Amino acid sequence: MVKDKLYEAIQRARRKSTVQRFVESPMRTMQERRYILYVISASIAASGAAVALRLGADLAQVGIIAFVLAIIPPGFYHLQETTRIRRMEAEFPALVRDLSLSMKSGMNPRGAIRIAAQGHYCALTPAI
């Protein structure tokens, strides 16, 4: 009976539209579906180009502005993700060391992970 409820909850979550998921958690949605960031960025660039053309800007300037507006958001997102992953990779050896020491002392893997989850591993802690 519990499995049926869990299965139904999973099915309901899958039925949510991308827009609903984006409203609930924008960063998580962009991590799962990276194309959303590019769609948003292109929309911003097109809007900026339309406004600039409406104000009478030169076509070359509009092209440059649109290009910059299109590449800056994905660039910042990629930089943030790369930094987050590097921080997690830097803390991973400490986590493995602590797990192995706990298991060498006679603890089962489940207990070792439970103890490690209480530790502080900077960016890796939420993932544990």
- The percent of residues in the chain predicted with pLDDT above 90, rounded, is 7
Could you tell me the two tokens for 35? 């194309």
State the Cα–Cα distance between residues 25 and 77, nearest whole angstrom: 15
Q: What residues does each domain of the chain span? A: 34-127
Q: How confident is the model at residue 2 (pLDDT cuts 50, 70, 90)?
A: low
Average pLDDT of span 9-32? 76
Q: How confident is the model at residue 122 (pLDDT cuts 50, 70, 90)?
A: confident
User: Rounded to a whole number, what is the distance in angstroms from the first to the last CA of the chain?
Assistant: 29
Q: What pTM does this model have?
A: 0.63
DSSP states of 47-107: HHHHHHHHTT--HHHHHHHHHHHHHHHHHHHHHHHHHHHHHHHHHHHHHHHHHHHHHHTT-
Give the per-residue pLDDT at 86: 92
Could you tell me the two tokens for 60? 């070359």
Give the per-residue pLDDT at 1: 55
